[in-house]
């Protein structure tokens, strides 16, 4: 194909992008216009995908990490034959459209991930490449490469300035993710203007130090140079590849190309007309001539590719029926058929536990049972496995020499770990979980938010949950972090008090395929609480009556995690003083809020105003449960460095404080 023909095909992307941004009067035309030539070569010549079935398991994954250039991706999807119409393009950035301002997972077929905050798309791509390599190692057999494809990502300067790019690209090189190919749009422009004033890194040298193959100084507007770079990238499957493409932002615009003026604003009607003339694109807004549309449509090619793969998989099924069955189940995200039996067995084993234990140890106990039954669990920790207890006896570390493991040592990379887990979950075939200290969740919070935004089954394991960790001091002692997690939409946060509540948290999180879960676990030992069968069932509702009283309660104590034992002991103390006390355990307040009002009323009767909540965390969250007539024993300041027992006394987590507060509230509400 001639350069002129390719340029015409790329100009279809440029025209659709500038037209959609102009119609919306909002958006970023520069990146789509600058990367159109790279996209044309990649999508038409190399990308293994089927627009008629965007969920084909062996498709290549494509991630637009510089997601503000979303019209590049929407144009590609439309032109390739995905169910994205011209009318959808005209609704760019409009309410409830399939073409939101940034690519949003679940809105548009063919969009593999939500790429909003810069750098996280790149991290997701690393997760996808990791998942591909691991799944291939687990399921491929000689002559049957049923998992065999590439992951491609486009990134801009902003993605590489973000610190997460260092975390994930360093790890990608260490893991030798050779089927990850990243195209760097080196156009020298960001919103503030020419980046030479704030970004002068030697990017090729940086990536070579990560153990990446780097292909430098590629003319991003020369199809032959792009083809040569992709061929070279695909040949080296022992290292990920960075293709550094020199491009002109807003390519084709006579007056705005190469300037930040076209980065994040419409070109304007006059400039669009001038650009059409400069590109030789004589067609009207959103018009693509039939011959160009035909050349772009890849449905037939995609269906052929998928059909060939299906033939291979049918032979694989005949020779390895059990493997094939497990592969399909995992890709679909279904749990084993005997999941109900697995749950019952685990419940029965855990119900008889009597020894006190830290809930981080309780979590490891459950992992030991689950890991043997749920092979899709892909664990990990940000360098704290001995403290988080995220490894079980069957954990096998993933490495270049052993890619078929089930555990990732992420190193001290909390943000990178979390965003990579999102990519693994998006890829399919795995349920990722990863651990760190609760305080270090702060490094990862934006990726936690993205797992919730995309409804991903990701499990975040956070230990060292409070001032109870003691001497490490206020830099390591969480105060506001649990609240930050609880107020994140679609995230369910569990703070269990013992082995059985931890069991329910794990089983519920694994079943939950519409969003992530977070576990808040203790370092200190906690006693096991006694429950009947109904109480055991009610744990999954998020809040339940752990200790009932014989009559109408004078007081309701609400607590979570390590403070449950304090609430139970305080209730005994208060009963000795003649008060009727009900104790409510609230391991997951978000799930409790989803229960029918009748159940909520049963646990927290409206006519009982005497309530005291107890938690080693910020107090504000609990006022919606105790009301203006109740009280909260919490922490609204930073901690101190001291032994845990001394800190608990200093901050009022004692029977004396609970009893004193409770009596005051009872008396206040009965006079």
Return the H-helix or E-strand segment holding 61.
strand 61-64
The residue-averaged pLDDT of 227-244 equals 98
pLDDT score at 18: 98
Confirm or deny that 117 is annotated as ligand binding. yes
Q: End-to-end distance of the chain based on CA atoms, in angstroms? A: 89
Quick one: DSSP state of residue 610? -
pLDDT score at 3: 67
pLDDT, one tens digit per residue, over 525-549 is 999 999 999 999 999 999 999 999 9
Phi-psi region of 212 (alpha: psi -120 to 50; beta: other; left: phi over 0): beta
Place of tokens 């609240």: 483
Cβ 382 vs Cβ 391: under 8 Å: no
Quick one: DSSP state of residue 267? -
Confirm or deny that 464 is annotated as ligand binding. yes
pLDDT, one tens digit per residue, over 89-119 is 999 999 999 999 999 999 999 999 999 899 9
Task: With both helix axes pointing from N to C terminus, report the angle between 414-427 and 120-139 in degrees, rounded to the nearest 10.
Answer: 60
Active site residue 414: yes
Alpha-carbon gap, residue 614 to 655, rounded angstroms: 11
| CA quadruple 295, 298, 299, 302: dihedral, nearest 10 | 150
pLDDT, one tens digit per residue, over 4-23 is 699 999 999 999 999 999 99
Entry pTM: 0.98
pLDDT score at 664: 97
Confirm or deny that 189 is annotated as ligand binding. yes
pLDDT, one tens digit per residue, over 653-665 is 999 999 999 999 9
Average pLDDT score over the chain: 97
Between the CA of residue 100 and those of 24, 115, 266, what are the distances in Å?
11, 11, 16
Token readout for 388 is 């988080």
Answer whether residue 35 shows pLDDT above 80. yes
| CA quadruple 588, 623, 447, 190: dihedral, nearest 10 | 170
pLDDT score at 551: 86
Give 350's pLDDT tier (boundaries 50, 70, 90). Answer: confident
Confirm or deny that 116 is annotated as ligand binding. yes
The residue-averaged pLDDT of 380-394 equals 97
pLDDT score at 351: 78
pLDDT score at 4: 64
Cβ 547 vs Cβ 574: under 8 Å: no
pLDDT score at 45: 97
The residue-averaged pLDDT of 485-506 equals 98
pLDDT score at 128: 99
Answer whether residue 581 shows pLDDT above 80. yes
Cβ 344 vs Cβ 169: under 8 Å: no
The residue-averaged pLDDT of 481-507 equals 98
Confirm or deny that 118 is annotated as ligand binding. yes
Which residue in the list 112, 167, 376, 414 is annotated as catalytic? 414
The residue-averaged pLDDT of 209-219 equals 98
In order of start, what are the domains of the chain with their CATH numbers? 6-303 (3.40.50.970), 338-520 (3.40.50.970), 536-670 (3.40.50.920)
Confirm or deny that 102 is annotated as ligand binding. no
The residue-averaged pLDDT of 128-144 equals 98
pLDDT score at 151: 98
Cβ 84 vs Cβ 108: under 8 Å: yes
pLDDT, one tens digit per residue, over 243-258 is 999 999 999 999 999 9
Between the CA of residue 404 and those of 237, 382, 399, what are the distances in Å?
17, 20, 8
Confirm or deny that 157 is annotated as ligand binding. yes
Return the H-helix or E-strand segment holding 292.
helix 290-296
Give 349's pLDDT tier (boundaries 50, 70, 90). Answer: confident
* Three-state SS letters, 188-238: CEECCEEHHHCCCCCHHHHHHHCCCEEEEEEECCCHHHHHHHHHHHHHCCC
pLDDT score at 353: 85
pLDDT, one tens digit per residue, over 354-365 is 899 999 999 999
Question: Which three-class secondary structure state does DSSP give residue 549?
Answer: coil
Confirm or deny that 55 is annotated as ligand binding. no
pLDDT, one tens digit per residue, over 413-444 is 999 999 999 999 999 999 999 999 999 999 99
Confirm or deny that 387 is annotated as ligand binding. yes
């Amino acid at each position: 194909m001639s350069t002129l023909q390719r340029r015409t095909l790329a100009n279809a992307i440029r025209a659709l992008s500038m037209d959609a941004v102009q119609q919306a009067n909002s958006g970023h035309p520069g990146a789509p216009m600058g990367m159109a030539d790279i996209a044309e070569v990649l999508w038409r010549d190399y990308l293994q995908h089927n627009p008629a079935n965007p969920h084909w398991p062996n498709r290549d994954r494509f991630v637009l990490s510089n997601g503000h250039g979303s019209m590049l991706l929407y144009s590609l999807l439309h032109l390739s034959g995905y169910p994205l119409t011209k009318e959808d393009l005209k609704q760019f950035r409009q309410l409830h459209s399939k073409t939101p301002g940034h690519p949003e997972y679940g809105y548009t077929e063919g969009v593999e991930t939500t790429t909003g905050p810069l750098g996280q798309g790149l991290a997701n791509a690393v997760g996808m490449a990791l998942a591909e390599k691991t799944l291939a190692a687990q399921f491929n057999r000689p002559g049957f490469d049923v998992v065999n494809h590439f992951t491609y990502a486009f990134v801009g300067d902003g993605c590489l300035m973000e610190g997460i790019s260092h975390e994930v690209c360093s790890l990608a090189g260490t893991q030798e993710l050779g089927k990850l190919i990243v195209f760097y749009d080196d156009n020298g422009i960001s919103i503030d203007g020419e980046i030479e004033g704030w970004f002068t890194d030697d990017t090729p040298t940086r990536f070579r130090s990560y153990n990446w193959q780097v292909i430098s100084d590629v003319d991003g507007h020369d199809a032959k140079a792009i083809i040569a770079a992709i061929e070279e990238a695909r040949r080296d499957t022992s290292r990920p590849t960075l293709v550094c493409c020199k491009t002109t932002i807003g390519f084709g615009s006579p007056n705005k190309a190469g300037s930040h003026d076209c980065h994040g604003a419409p070109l304007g009607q006059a400039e669009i007309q001038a650009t059409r003339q400069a590109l030789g694109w004589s067609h009207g807004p959103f018009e693509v001539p039939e011959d160009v549309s035909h050349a772009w449509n890849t449905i037939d090619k995609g269906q052929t590719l998928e059909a060939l793969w299906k033939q291979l998989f049918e032979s694989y099924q005949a020779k390895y029926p059990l493997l094939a069955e497990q592969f399909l189940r995992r890709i679909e995200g279904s749990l084993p058929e005997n999941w109900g039996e697995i749950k019952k067995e685990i419940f029965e084993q855990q119900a008889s536990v009597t020894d006190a234990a830290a809930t981080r140890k309780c979590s490891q106990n459950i992992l030991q049972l689950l890991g043997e039954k749920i092979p899709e669990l892909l664990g990990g920790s940000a360098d704290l496995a001995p403290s988080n207890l995220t490894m079980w006896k069957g954990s096998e570390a993933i490495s270049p020499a052993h890619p078929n493991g089930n555990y990732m040592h992420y190193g001290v990379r909390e943000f990178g770990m979390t965003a990579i887990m999102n990519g693994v979950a998006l890829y399919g075939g795995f349920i990722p979980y990863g651990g760190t200290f609760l305080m270090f969740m702060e490094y990862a919070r934006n990726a936690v938010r993205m797992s919730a935004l995309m409804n991903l089954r990701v499990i975040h394991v956070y230990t060292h949950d409070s001032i109870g960790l003691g001497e490490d001091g206020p830099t390591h002692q969480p105060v506001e972090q649990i609240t930050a997690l609880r107020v994140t939409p679609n995230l369910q946060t569990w703070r269990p008090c013992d082995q059985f509540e931890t069991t329910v948290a794990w089983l519920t999180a694994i079943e939950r395929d519409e969003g992530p879960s977070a576990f808040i676990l203790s370092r200190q030992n906690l006693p096991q609480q006694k429950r009947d069968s109904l109480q055991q069932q009610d744990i999954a509702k998020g809040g339940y009556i752990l200790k009932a009283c014989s009559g109408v309660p004078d007081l309701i104590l609400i607590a979570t995690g390590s403070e449950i034992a304090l609430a139970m002991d305080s209730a005994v103390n208060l009963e000795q003083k003649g008060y009727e006390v009900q104790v409510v355990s609230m391991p997951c307040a978000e799930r409790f809020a989803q229960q029918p009002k009748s159940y909520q009323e049963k646990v927290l009767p409206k006519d009982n105003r005497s309530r005291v909540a107890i938690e080693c965390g910020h107090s504000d969250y609990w006022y919606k449960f105790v009301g203006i007539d109740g009280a909260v024993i919490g922490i609204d300041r930073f901690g101190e460095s001291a032994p845990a027992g001394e800190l608990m006394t200093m901050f009022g987590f004692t029977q004396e404080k609970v009893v004193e507060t409770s009596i005051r509230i009872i008396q206040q509400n009965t006079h």
